[in-house]
Amino acid sequence: MSLPETLIDAARAVREGAITATALTQAALERAQMHQALNALAWVDPQAALAEAAQRDAEARSGRWRGPLHGVPITVKDLFNVRGMPTRGGTRAPLPRLTPEEAPAVARLRAAGAVILAKTNLQEIALGLTGENPWTGDVKNPHHPAHQAGGSSSGAAAAVAVGIGYGALGSDTAGSIRLPAAFCGVVGFKPSFGAVPLEGALPLVPSCDHAGPLARTVADAALLFSVLAEQPTYAAPLDAPPVLAVPFDYLEGWLTRELRAAFAAWLIRLQRKGAKIVSAHPPLALAEQHFPALRAESALVHHEGLTRAPSFFSPFVRAALQQGYAVPAVDYLRAREAQHILRHAIADTLRRAGAQALLMPTAPGAAPLRGTSVIALERGATPLRQAILHFTLPAAFAGVPAASLPFAWADGLPLGAQIIAPFGADETTLRIAAWLERVR
């Protein structure tokens, strides 16, 4: 039996009686077993997942349809509370108490008919960008296991890429949905700040934390977003080619040679398809300048763990959290002000340029080898974390919507591009992404 390729196809097949939720869930569990070496999953109970699928099938037979995800298996990052599953956050440290028992974002997926298949691995407490974790092991890149999967929603992206479910719920504080989506060759969408509820989820930097979907296609991500945000989302490709602003000055020196060539060639292809590419100069560097002061929020979130059992955090995470205690109040307040300044500056820049969104790479290059801490860019050797945050941090810091989708390949690894739009323009972001996906 051939399986549907996309989430939308899978939901349609269940509704038309062409396949059962049980068959879809069994196939996802088989894929999980087949790809166990990728270390994508933090928790899975096959019998519980199959029992939930059987319930969806019984509901379908009786004519009860929960919603647009009825019978489709979905995974959830292991920082969201899921009824009947532990929340460990990829750490051995004690976590703050999270309520309710099931995060509203997860409850919305379930109410729409999704089968909650499993929980996915992540970087420790969602702090990191490589997918490497000394407690739970590295999540490996599904296209080349020697390479990083990206973080912190590493398991979510890897699972979607190899068919362990048709979509995933992830989180993004500084790039944690978009980066693993880029490294693993799937679509990731970080909505506007606050669009998807985060109650019942482990915070990291509450003023930057976002929840959002990862999926195989833009349309699938849009459907998941509409469920998660409880708002209708029309995500058909734009009727006319978009006007896109590229921050060329901001990118100068920050790309690998391979990504520079691929991105330049892609821009030419987009222009041939009718897109208009203009230059823009938003003050994106505000994010890197002020984000460190927001570590004060992280120190507060994990104060109990840092006090009771600091050695149960890995050295890198512990040091990053403890930096928050040294942040002067005035620096924190300036950072909070800078978030709003950048949010408005992105909108103003696009308006002046006559553009609908910013377009730039999601990362400086393809996924590096696991264990890499320095990357060779046009500007020279650069710490990997700094290089990645240069691309992913601005949209999260400003709280504006951003989607990542694959646009090219280099040495067998995918390359990702991101669309960044003004605050609240979630649907526009997805429609531009759908247009880019169609013409690439």
pLDDT tens, residue by residue, 139-176: 999 999 999 999 999 999 999 999 999 999 999 999 99
Domain 7-229 is found in CATH 3.40.50.10860: no
Q: Rounded distance, CA 206 to CA 216, Å?
A: 28
pLDDT given at position 440: 82
pLDDT given at position 235: 78
Catalytic residue among 153, 154, 171, 176: 176
| 3 state SS for the chain | CCCCCCHHHHHHHHHCCCCCHHHHHHHHHHHHHHCHHHCCEEEECHHHHHHHHHHHHHHHHCCCCCCCCCCCEEEEECCECECCECCCCCCCCCCCCCCCCCCHHHHHHHHCCCEEEEEECCCHHHCCCCCCCCCCCCCECCCCCCEECCCCCHHHHHHHHHCCCCEEEEEECCCCCHHHHHHHCCEEEECCCCCCCCCCECCCCCCCCEEEEEECCHHHHHHHHHHHHCCCCCCCCCCCCCEEEECHHHHCCCCCHHHHHHHHHHHHHHHHCCCEEEECCCCCHHHHHHHHHHHHHHHHHCHHHHHHCHHHCCHHHHHHHHHHHHCCHHHHHHHHHHHHHHHHHHHHHHHHHCCCEEEEECCCCCCCECCCCEEEECCEEEEHHHHHHHHHHHHHHHCCCEEEEEEEEECCEEEEEEEECCCCCHHHHHHHHHHHHHHC
* Catalytic-residue membership of 176: yes
Among candidate residues 19, 29, 18, 78, the one with its CA nearest the CA of residue 51: 29
Domain ranges in the chain? 7-229, 243-289+336-401+413-439, 290-323
pLDDT given at position 1: 66
pLDDT tens digits for range 405-430: 999 999 999 999 999 999 999 999 99
| For helices 7-15 and 46-61, angle between their N-to-C axes, nearest 10 degrees | 50
pLDDT given at position 59: 98
Among candidate residues 68, 70, 69, 46, the one with its CA nearest the CA of residue 56: 70
pTM above 0.95, yes or no: yes
pLDDT given at position 44: 98
pLDDT given at position 236: 86
pLDDT given at position 105: 99
* Catalytic-residue membership of 119: no
Do 313 and 306 touch, CB atoms closer than 8 A? yes
Amino acid, res. 271? Q
Catalytic residue among 119, 140, 152, 298: 152
pLDDT given at position 233: 81
Residues of the chain with pLDDT under 50: none
Q: Rounded distance, CA 139 to CA 195, Å?
A: 28
pLDDT given at position 255: 98
